């Protein structure tokens, strides 16, 4: 079995103690991080080395965005796509070289899209839709077993948010974003593994706003983080975990880790 995890860490240098706790307690073979907020030279390489994650692909930038995939399994960097079309560090792809050899793991941080769901009034929303369109064009040409993980910043299903009606006009759950994500899904026949193993309408969130004083009591969550498999990989998914307790850890991220186990 190979365990692959994804987590929007919201600053890896600030939250390295939380990452260390997660890796120690759950021991995934591979961890994809989003929003690392650092350049490669300042990434905490030494801390990951000590934890046994000796293989890394880091695509970072100073202070914002950034993605990294760390692994106990040998890997090589496979690709970096600029789906934002402005040089932001929002994607890195790797190829596994040990167990699961040949699997392509794509790690992506989709833009949040600002607050107004209108391209004309809010250029950031237009950038998000264009990002998804470029991803869709790319997905149409995939010819390898592929797993794409990360913070998609979209909760596609009605049951992926705490209140569907209240959030219909809130960026991350608007119909136009859901339709754009559906086009991406259809371009490669992706399988949404989270919902394959935690079927709708079962409760399933991965993000809770920092604004909530008691996130558990209000439970105003959204499922913004995803793990999607190509059709030839999806049947090998065996188990899925949402590590909700990480939202209670000191200086926590507003996202929690997801873990998928594969029979590779």
E runs forming strands in 35-74: 55-59, 67-71
* Residue 141: per-residue pLDDT: 94
- Whether the pLDDT of residue 212 is over 90: the answer is no
Structure tokens of 257? 């880790």
pLDDT at position 213 over 90: no
Q: How far is CA 92 from CA 64, 75, 82, 110, 125, in A?
A: 15, 12, 10, 12, 22
Q: pLDDT tens-digit profile of 37-93?
A: 999 999 999 999 999 999 999 999 999 999 999 999 999 999 999 999 999 999 999
Its domain, for residue 33, covers 2-262
pLDDT at 100: 86
What's the mean pLDDT in 137-160? Answer: 97
Q: What is the pLDDT of residue 1?
A: 93
Number of domains in the chain: 1
pTM: 0.97
CATH number where 109 lies: 3.60.10.10
For the chain, the average pLDDT equals: 97
- pLDDT reading at 129 higher than 90: yes
Across the range 235-252, mean pLDDT stands at 97
């Amino acid at each position: 079995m190979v365990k692959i995890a994804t987590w929007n860490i919201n600053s890896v240098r600030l939250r390295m103690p939380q990452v260390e706790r997660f890796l120690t307690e759950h021991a995934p073979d591979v961890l994809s991080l989003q929003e690392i907020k650092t350049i490669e030279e300042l990434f905490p390489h030494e801390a990951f080395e000590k934890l046994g994650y000796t293989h890394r692909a880091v695509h970072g930038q100073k202070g914002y965005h950034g993605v990294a995939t760390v692994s106990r399994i040998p890997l090589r960097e496979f690709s970096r796509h600029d789906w934002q079309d402005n040089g932001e560090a929002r994607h890195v792809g790797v190829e596994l070289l040990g167990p699961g050899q040949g699997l392509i793991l794509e790690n992506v941080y989709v833009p949040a899209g600002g607050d107004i769901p209108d391209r004309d009034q809010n250029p950031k929303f237009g950038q998000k839709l264009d990002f998804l369109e470029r991803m869709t064009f790319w997905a149409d040409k995939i010819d390898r077993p592929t797993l794409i993980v990360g913070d998609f910043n979209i909760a596609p299903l009605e049951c992926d948010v705490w209140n569907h009606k209240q959030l219909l006009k809130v960026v991350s759950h608007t119909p136009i974003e859901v339709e754009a994500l559906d086009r991406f899904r259809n371009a490669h026949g992706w399988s949404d593994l989270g919902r394959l193993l935690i079927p709708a309408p079962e409760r399933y969130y991965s993000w809770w706003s920092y604004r909530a004083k008691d996130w558990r009591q209000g439970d105003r969550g959204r499922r913004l983080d995803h793990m999607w498999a190509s059709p030839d990989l999806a049947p090998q998914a065996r188990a899925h975990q949402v590590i909700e307790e990480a939202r209670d850890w000191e200086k926590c991220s507003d996202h929690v880790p997801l873990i998928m186990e594969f029979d590779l």
